[in-house]
Amino acid sequence: MKIGLEIHVQLPTKSKLFCPCPTTDAPAPNTHVCPVCLGFPGARPMMNRKAIEYGILLAKMLGCTIRDTTWFARKIYFYPDNAKNFQITQYDRPLGEKGMYYLNGKKPIRITRIHIEEDPGKIKRVGDLSSLVDYNRSGVPLAEIVTEPDLSTPAEAREFLGQLIRDIRHTIDIPDDGERSIRCDCNISVGIERCEVKNVTGLKNVERALTYELVRQTKLLKAGGKVVRETRRFDEERGVTISVRKKEMEADYGYIDEPDLGIFNVKELTERLKIGESPQNMILRLSKEYGIDEKTAKQFVSTSVELAHLFEELAAATDTETARTWTSGAVSAGWKSFEARGGGDAAEVVSLIGKFKAGEITDTECNIRIRAFLTGTDVDEVRSGSADLDSIISEYLDVNPSVIEDYRKNERAANRVIGHVMKRTGGACSSAEIVDATKRLIEERL
Amino acid sequence: MIETSILSSLSKINEKYQMFRTITSDTEAGDAEFLFSAKDNLTSKDMETCSGSKILEGYRPPFDATSIARMRGAGGLLVGKTNMDEFGFGTFSTNSAFGVPRNPYDPERSCGGSSGGAACAAAVMDGHVAIGVSTGGSICCPASFCGVYGIVPTYGRVSRYGLLDYGNSLDKIGIISAKASDLGKYVNIMAGADPRDPTSCMQPDMGARRKLKSVAVPKDATEGVSEDVRMAFTDGLETLESLGVDVDTVEMPSLKYAIPAYYVIATSEASTNLARYCGMRYGHQKGDLSLKFDDYFTSFRSQYFGQEAKRRILLGTFTRMVGFRDRYYSKARMVRQSIIGEYRSVLRECDAVLTPTMPFVSPKFSDISKMTPLESYKADILTGPPNIAGMPHASVPCGYDRNGMPIGMQLVADQWDEGVLFSAAEEWEKTFESVRPEVSI
Ligand SMILES: [Zn+2]
């Protein structure tokens, strides 16, 4: 089985691709519109350069070749949500070509191309006989990433998409607004001919749609039937794909270059724009470089790339084991609160752990002070709260010494303690704090 | 104060010549400093904009074209929208859905096209300035047929924001007037970068005016042109020489490919531009809503597009299709590059390339109706080359045939070098005596 994906990602620009209309949620249908994105006669596109910058960052992240010049094209098809009855996209000269993405850092997935295009409007069906069109989305910038058919199972496709999206979010700083903002066209072939399932939203639905197609095509072939090349649609509620139309060949769209935008020289921009390490690569590097397991590395990076950076600073200042223990423990426990307050310089944490290593403060004291720093709370307040928390846990462990024995066999035994303490404290402490304190106190008794 | 008596007689004039699609209801000019008209493919907030097409009947754009806004800003009063071939598709203004403008020298003859109404207004109305649009000859042709001056600035000189596109890489907005000094004056008002048309943002400042010192005449410039035109052109050359202008003959072998290349590029682009007219969002919308959307679009487009619009959509769609794209569209763009190259190398040696504007004087409507599409496309043989190259060019009146029909000649200058055309036209006006048409209302 071969699976290739075409992934559409909305780029986080403030205004649309070719006009100044905002890309934010609109108060009502057809309010974030103007003559340009409504395709009114005489209006023409103006390039939003920020979209090209985002496109270049993504092309770099995917290891694509970025040529010095790029330009746009008109793709002509008649549809009510397509304001001009042509879409401005890229054809002959996409922003990036011939890239590579390593799934789990290992399996190469070839990236055919990445290009920028405008999103069409949205059609809302009203009853059986009519539809309404909302052009608020018309002209929102999209990046389309096309892979070669290098994915071999629906689960793998989902995994790939998950990793890719996390990397994309990190590279161009898209807020995590759920899976819905990712739309995907899935090409799948069990035999020779392939089908395309258009416009599937979200990771889970991609896997469901592909699995349905896998079963459908396999059955069809086994029964001696033939798969026809066609476009299908995924019905989320019923979990089935439905034939929409015979697949047009790309060339049928009669592309011509967009004459109103001209040619963009992106050489300097490409040289100037730098991308950091992608989260997926960071997980693999941390695990390899520091000898920590991938799960821990993933936990750090998923919490925040900044947390992972702090882990590296700690490892440099002390040693890997100290860095790992403290990062998983007290630092992770307070990190969300730290970032919620704006994040920033966490050098204080490195210095506190340094003091603990040098024997200047106890680990309990170090723990309290880290917590106080990260949560922005007074040290004494944390100390008394922590003492209360510690004493509740200790009391429970004193009464139930079997927990310690169970914990030796399975760390999940700690959950009993945690559940009890949660009830007792009734929301006064964060769950991260409770987990951290429980593990610390159990481990003291091991 | 400007002469405003014309405002009250506009509808009478229009009855006779049909140069306007829409006219203002103003009878007073207020504090306006001049009166102007705009071709009906330029959007105007206060007037219907149809581009000569039934499909846009009743359309009131929500914004002014930059060219119109700048003319208004300079004190102009828009008196009307001039009649034209549907979307600019034609050489005689006979392809309009709203009547055919009549030539002021002979009402049985054409004003030329596609800015026919604009040239007619400039010829008939004293002191009138008309904004025209040229894609493949649509300013110089009617200027020549109506015996007035016309200028097409360099592609990208005047913002196309608010222009209903024909071929975006070819469309240029210019001026038609009976007065040569209006060319420079009003092009300067409309020109300049406009962020709403990115192709206008690369332009250098308007070059200084300078005297025309030398012209080059392509060797086959008068091949296939009528005897009357040839004679008037030869007279024109002699006059120029007597004014001290050097005249050289040059070989420009690629110009003959301009017309086929022009029609491929123009129709390819036009067929995409016209996709948006489908009876939704603006213009005519009274279709059968019980149809499926694509049937609705088809019925609408079949009913309201004219014959020539349909022909060009088909031609352009064909040349864009896979298998033909490289053979036609891509090749035509290479032809364009070699024509530009040829002009530039000739214009390094001299100030302008000179030819007649049209191969014949304005034909009678009865003859036009007998022409095949190919014959009428061929009328653009001399105006096509500077248009496909995007070079600035102007038509000046240079004589009259035995029936008194005007003849024009065309000067092509280097990119951004409009200055030499402005002063050449003004100098020419001093020696050439125009015969104004007799206008009786
Ligand atoms: Zn807009």
Taking every pair of Cα atoms in chain A, the longest distance, rounded to a whole number of angstroms, is: 81
Does some domain include residue B436? no
pLDDT greater than 60 at residue A180 = no
Task: State pLDDT tens for residues B103-152.
Answer: 999 999 999 999 999 999 999 998 999 999 999 999 999 999 999 999 99
Size of interface A-B (CB pairs under 8 A): 104
- Chain B residues whose CB is inside 8 A of the A71 CB are none
pLDDT value for B300: 92
Residues making up chain A, counted from first to last: 446
Query: Does residue B235 share a domain with residue B265?
Result: no
pLDDT value for A177: 61
Is residue B161 within 8 Å of residue B66, measured between CB atoms? yes
Query: What is the CA(B51)–ligand 1 centre distance, in A?
Result: 23
Q: From the candidates B39, B54, B81, B172, which is the catalytic residue?
A: B39
Tell me the backbone φ, ψ of residue A128, rounded to 5 degrees.
-85, -25
User: Which of A40, A46, A258 to mutate to test binding with chain B, by most B CBs within 10 Å of its CB?
Assistant: A40
Query: Does residue B292 share a domain with residue B188?
Result: no
Query: Does residue B267 share a domain with residue B410?
Result: no
pLDDT greater than 70 at residue A247 = no
How are beta strands A195-201 and A182-189 bridged, if at all?
A: antiparallel
Query: Does residue B267 share a domain with residue B246?
Result: no
Of residues B169 and A401, the one with the higher pLDDT is B169
Quick check: B164 and A41 CB within 8 A? yes
Does some domain include residue B441? no
Confidence of residue A421 (pLDDT cuts 50, 70, 90): confident
What's the mean pLDDT when you consider all of chain A? 89
Is residue B142 within 8 Å of residue B134, measured between CB atoms? no
Q: What span, in angstroms and rounded, lies between the C-alpha atoms of A332 and A339?
A: 11
pLDDT value for B289: 84
pLDDT value for A91: 94
pLDDT value for B441: 62
Quick check: B276 and A251 CB within 8 A? no
Query: Does residue B382 share a domain with residue B242?
Result: yes
**What's the average model confidence in pLDDT over A183-200?**
91
Closest in A39, A252, A255 to B276, CB measured? A39
Is residue A102 within 8 Å of residue A161, measured between CB atoms? no
Query: Does residue B24 share a domain with residue B97?
Result: yes
**Residue A329, token pair as written in the block:** 């423990």
pLDDT greater than 90 at residue A439 = no
User: Which of B281, B327, B334 to mutate to test binding with chain A, by most A CBs within 10 Å of its CB?
Assistant: B281
Quick check: A42 and B165 CB within 8 A? yes
- The stretches in chain B having pLDDT less than 70 are 1-4, 440-441
Chain A residues contacting B, CB < 8 Å?
A: 35, 38-47, 74, 76, 78-80, 83-86, 129-130, 249, 251-252, 254-256, 259-262
Of residues A380 and A60, the one with the higher pLDDT is A60
Domain final residue pick, B308, B333, B358: B333
Quick check: B61 and A40 CB within 8 A? yes
Active site (annotated) includes residue B430: no
Query: Does residue B391 share a domain with residue B242?
Result: yes
pLDDT greater than 80 at residue A199 = yes
Amino acid in position A130? S
**What's the average model confidence in pLDDT over A35-57?**
96
Angle, CA of B352, B356 and B360, to the nearest 5°: 165
Closest in A41, A78, A251 to B297, CB measured? A78
Closest in A35, A251, A260 to B199, CB measured? A260
Quick check: A84 and B199 CB within 8 A? no
Quick check: A42 and B43 CB within 8 A? yes
pLDDT greater than 80 at residue A434 = yes
Active site (annotated) includes residue B366: no
Query: Does residue B283 share a domain with residue B372?
Result: no
Angle, CA of B303, B274 and A143, to the nearest 5°: 135
Active site (annotated) includes residue B114: yes
Does some domain include residue B438? no
Query: Does residue B165 share a domain with residue B42?
Result: yes
pLDDT value for B273: 98
Q: What span, in angstroms and rounded, lies between the C-alpha atoms of A393 and A400?
A: 10
Task: State pLDDT tens for residues A102-152.
Answer: 998 889 999 999 999 999 999 998 888 888 999 999 999 999 999 999 999
Task: State pLDDT tens for residues A341-364.
Answer: 887 888 889 999 999 888 898 888
pLDDT greater than 60 at residue A178 = no
Q: What span, in angstroms and rounded, lies between the C-alpha atoms of B213 and B417?
A: 14
pLDDT value for A427: 66
Quick check: B168 and A47 CB within 8 A? no
In chain A, where the domains are located:
2-272, 279-444
Query: Does residue B19 share a domain with residue B114?
Result: yes
Residue (of B131, B140, B186) closest to B160 by Cα position: B131
Domain final residue pick, B333, B367, B396: B333
pLDDT greater than 90 at residue A280 = no
Query: What is the CA(A31)–ligand 1 centre distance, in A?
Result: 10
Query: What is the CA(A39)–ligand 1 centre distance, in A?
Result: 9
pLDDT greater than 90 at residue A28 = yes
Domain final residue pick, B333, B352, B377: B333
- Chain A residues whose CB is inside 8 A of the B195 CB are 46
How are beta strands B20-23 and A263-265 bridged, if at all?
A: unpaired
Domain span at residue B368 reads 5-250+337-431
- pTM here is 0.86
Closest in B161, B275, B329 to A86, CB measured? B275
**Edge-to-edge strand ranges of the sheet holding B246-250:** B20-23, B76-82, B34-39, B129-134, B172-177, B149-152, B393-400, B406-412, B352-356, B214-218, B246-250
**Number of folded domains in chain B?**
2
**What's the average model confidence in pLDDT over A214-220?**
92
Quick check: A41 and B160 CB within 8 A? no
